[in-house]
Amino acid sequence: MSNLNEILFDEGAWIYVAIVALLWFIHGLIKTIVHARARSAYRESVEAGLTEPASLHPVIDPTKCRGSGACIQACPERPAHKVLGLIDGKAELIDPTSCIGHGACAAACPFDAITLVFGTERRGVDIPMVSPEYETNVSGLYIAGELGGMGLIRNAVNQGKQAMESIGKRLKQLPAADSPDVFDVLIVGAGPAGLSASLSAKEQGLNYVTIEQESLGGTVFQFPRNKLVMTAPVVLPIVGQVNFRETSKEALLEFWEGVVEKHPINTHFSEKVEDIQKEGDIFVVKTDQDTYRARTVLLAIGRRGTPRKLGVPGEDQSKVVYRLIDPEQYRGQHVLVVGGGDSALEAATSIAEVPGTTVTLSYRSGAFSRAKKKNRDKVEQFDKDGKLTVMLNSNVQSFSEKHVTIEQEGQIHEIPNDGAIICAGGILPMGFLKSIGVEVETKFGTA
């Protein structure tokens, strides 16, 4: 009997060992596949030259990283973008340009292996210098939201609220305005930070005005149609707790429109601030429509700045825009897309997928070297299939009502045109900040 028990035990032990070995093999296989995919994604980013994060991003200390993957799971850009990945058992930033500076990866890391920094050794990032109360070196001028270097809607909402609370405390210590036409605070921008600040100003009973050069939502309004907006529960002044986690751009804008309808704020849309100067203790803010005076100013604008224009005749026509809102609006039209980055390539292919459209993609260089491989491949395939026309080494010369003139390698082409999307980037607002006296620090991979 004892021999039988030993045999059964041995067989049971071998079965257990076999199961463990199988599980270990499967685990190793999955790990190999995951690492291979991450390595491939990183290689694509390097080949496309997309290795420089736009703003705040993680730096992983390989001596501390244990490859738990917690940072990868915490990233709010998943599954649309795989910003972080495991390579050889260590976390790596495999898609740097998609990082939005959320910071959740650092909080999730159980080994304190992640440090959040601005810029890299090769590419500095300009960040305005602000105090813990969000005040710049210009007394009474505050900055909150994306302009200060922090991405993510939740961060912007929190900063807008906190900055306005700091402004409220400051105003209580200052003498009252000497004229009823002097605002307590002028807010520039009606995106997440500006909206939160406006509601906070209203909640505090401040005399305020908000100036927005475009529409409610600011940078969010410029996002592509149906883009998933990664956010998190946040407290919005007057409104209270907002429990959005993952929602579309449209749903978030609809919610904000409902908030403004229920709690109206004093906002001037389609009005651009052109200059801010301080006369004594009062700020004089000039826009393209009016001049305002305010005791304090809060800049709640994005880092994308003003769209860069081509500077060619006819560009001021309404058919020329600087972002794609809805591809469907171009159904049955001749459309020109200008640019060589991901936004241009994605705009061109998404419009080309709409029935009846004729799309031309114009780029001044000879290759789309600054776009992701998947976008380059898609454009190449669409070009081969006749779904769109690619014009490399080309420059737009002028727009007329029904045509666009393009120069390509010494030859002039005039093609039908009903609409144009210019994806040439933006003029960053750092020059504007410096012109009004705000100190800006260039960070090269530092916190």
Phi-psi map region of 105: left, alpha, beta (phi>0 left; psi -120 to 50 alpha)? alpha
Q: Which of 162-171, 289-298, 323-332 has the lowest mean pLDDT?
A: 323-332
For the CA atoms of 79, 81, 83, 85, the dihedral, rounded to the nearest 10 degrees, stands at 50
Cis ω for the linkage preceding 192 (within 30 of 0):
no
Question: Exposed, middle or buried by CB within 10 Å (0-12, 13-18, 19+), for 359?
Answer: buried
| Closest by CA position to 289, among listed 276, 275, 272 | 272
Count other Cβ atoms within 10 Å, centred on residue 227: 14
101 near 56, Cβ under 8 Å?
yes
Record the tokens describing residue 300, joined without a space. 């709640």
Does pLDDT of 8 surpass 50? no
* Amino acid present at 14: W
Instruction: Tell if the pTM clears 0.75, that is, is over it.
Output: no
What is the enclosing helix (H) or strand (E) of 292?
strand 291-299
pLDDT higher for 209 or 306? 209
CB 248 within 8 A of CB 226: yes
* pLDDT number for residue 235: 81
Q: What percent of the chain has pLDDT over 70?
A: 78
| Beta carbons of 196 and 156 less than 8 angstroms apart | yes
Work out the pLDDT band at 13, boundaries 50, 70, 90: low
The Cα 239–Cα 91 span in angstroms is: 39
Under 8 Å between Cβ of 350 and 387: no
Q: For 110-117, what is the mean pLDDT?
A: 85
DSSP run (H or E) holding 86: strand 84-87
**Residue listed under structure tokens 């825009």:** 321
Cβ atoms 364, 340 nearer than 8 A? yes
Task: List, in order, residues 6 or more apart from 62 with CB less than 8 Å away.
Answer: 90, 113
Lowest mean pLDDT among 144-153, 270-279, 311-320: 144-153
pLDDT, tens digit, 9 for 90 and up, residues 390-408: 999 999 999 999 999 999 9
Cα(85)–Cα(39) distance, integer angstroms = 8
Strand blocks (E) in 202-242: 208-211, 228-230, 234-236, 240-242
Highest mean pLDDT among 82-96, 285-299, 317-331: 285-299
Average pLDDT, rounded, for the chain: 83
